[in-house]
Structure 1
Amino acid sequence: MKITVIGSTGRTGVHVLEQGIRRGHELTAFTRRPQLLENVTGLNNIVTGDALHVSDIKKAIENQDVVIAIVGDRSTPVATEITKSLIQAMQECSVHRLVCVSSYLLDSKRPRVITPFFQWLLRHSLADRLSADQLIISSKTDWTIVRATRLHDKPATGNVRIQKGEFESGPYEICRADLASVLLDTVTNKAAINSIINATWGRKK
């Protein structure tokens, strides 16, 4: 399958590239910093550009089957603007399948350690992410939004839970390597089209 990864040089994006290559997909990495991919072997293509520009995105997604988008963070809340450009580019290139990373904090009251103050600290990035999600939901793409619990860089476990509703119990965390696996699994999961799914680690055995 031909997959373009937007946000390919981020901490989750690199895992998506490496795992996607191992699975036999044809991966195109879209990035502003191609030098960060010098040690990644097996990529089908690297396209340098800015995800805020429709013309740049189109160069990366032309003739692709799927786009995996991992965009926006707490310091630079630009997910809404990037999503606008991405949806337009996908429409113009007739690319339909979109899998996008979002935040579990948008629609969850658990765990209880998520205090109002913590929500306040993240208010700008969460508002940006919610706006981006709303654009995706109203788009004509075959979208799936994957809302991840707290992310970190521990080793992959392969022990994950995914579901469409809120998790009734923890852990409320997942490593980026396991999230990357969830994203790649979601690409071919037809039951996940036009759905929001949550992703976290499985219960300890």
Structure 2
Amino acid sequence: MKVTLFGATGTTGKYLIDEALKRGIDVTVFARSSSSFENAKVKIVRGELTDNALLREAVSGSDAVVSALGPTKLRHPKDLPITRATEAIISAMKQVHVQRLIAISTGMAVDPGDRFDWKIRLPATLIKYLMRSCYNDILALAKVIRASGLDWTMVRVAFLRNDPAIGHLNVGLYGVSRHSLAVNREDLARFMFDQITERRYIHQAPGISTK
């Protein structure tokens, strides 16, 4: 099996790469030209997320694309960089006929089936007013993925921790399933890679959290 990872040079990316290698998956990591990322166990394609030829190279032949792209700075640009990057990735996937996309999202990107959950809604409201650019990018990202025509799954999380995997997760829509405010990155990585062959959550956006 071959998987292409985006956003894998960040904190969560380490856990995604480790999980993929444990499963014997052939991994391609797309890293920005300015990134110092190195890993002898994976193929690295370096470039910008606007370079269609390099994006096609990175995703060609993959069974799935796993994206951990998301805002990483408090002062997030206003021009929706994560959304625009994901649009470019989706375009490249379609050109080389890769259909499966698993992407990280958050509770700010409300699903039509969600019900009110103050534990999620309160932080989302604070971010909406205090970090408007991040909020807008996350919402636009979800909209683009839903409209992509791909076999997508958005895995929605709140706060991420570096603790070891627990293996028991709350999974489901917010306000419908019971959720805590955190999940361990190792558990997140396991869940995301499970979705490559799991059909249950295609065209769905489950929230996951630690029990």
Q: 1:160 to 1:54 in 2, by over 3 A?
A: same
Report which stretch shifted further, 53-62 or 28-37.
Answer: 28-37
- 1:1-205 → structure 2 map (5 Å cutoff): 1-32=1-32, 35-38=36-39, 41-43=40-42, 45-75=43-73, 76=76, 77-107=80-110, 109-111=117-119, 113-114=122-123, 116-166=125-175, 169-202=178-211
Q: 1:154 to 1:95 in 2, by over 3 A?
A: same
Local SS of the residue matching 2:142: helix
How far has the Cα of 1:167 moved from its partner?
A: 5.4
Q: 1 CA distance for matches of 2:201 and 2:104? A: 14
Q: 2 CA distance for matches of 1:199 and 1:65? A: 23
Amino acid at match of 1:90: M
Local SS of the residue matching 1:106: coil
Q: 2 CA distance for matches of 1:101 and 1:197? A: 10
CA contact (8 A) 1:147 1:198 kept: yes
Q: 2 CA distance for matches of 1:113 and 1:154? A: 25
What root-mean-square deviation, in Å, do the aligned CA atoms of Structure 1 and Structure 2 show?
A: 2.0
Local SS of the residue matching 1:188: coil
How far has the Cα of 1:26 moved from its partner?
A: 1.2
Q: 2 CA distance for matches of 1:72 and 1:52? A: 16
Q: 2 CA distance for matches of 1:17 and 1:115? A: 29
How far has the Cα of 1:134 moved from its partner?
A: 0.7
Q: 1 CA distance for matches of 2:124 and 2:19? A: 35
Q: 1 CA distance for matches of 2:35 and 2:126? A: 38
Aligned residues: 199
Amino acid at match of 1:156: A
Matched with 2:113 is none
Structure 1: gaps (5+ residues): none
Report which stretch shifted further, 79-88 or 47-56.
Answer: 47-56
CA contact (8 A) 1:166 1:198 kept: no
CA contact (8 A) 2:52 2:92 kept: yes
Q: 1:168 to 1:66 in 2, by over 3 A?
A: closer
Local SS of the residue matching 2:66: strand
The TM-score normalised by the length of structure 2 is 0.85
Q: 2 CA distance for matches of 1:175 and 1:98? A: 21
Amino acid at match of 2:82: A
The TM-score normalised by the length of structure 1 is 0.87
Percent identical residues: 26
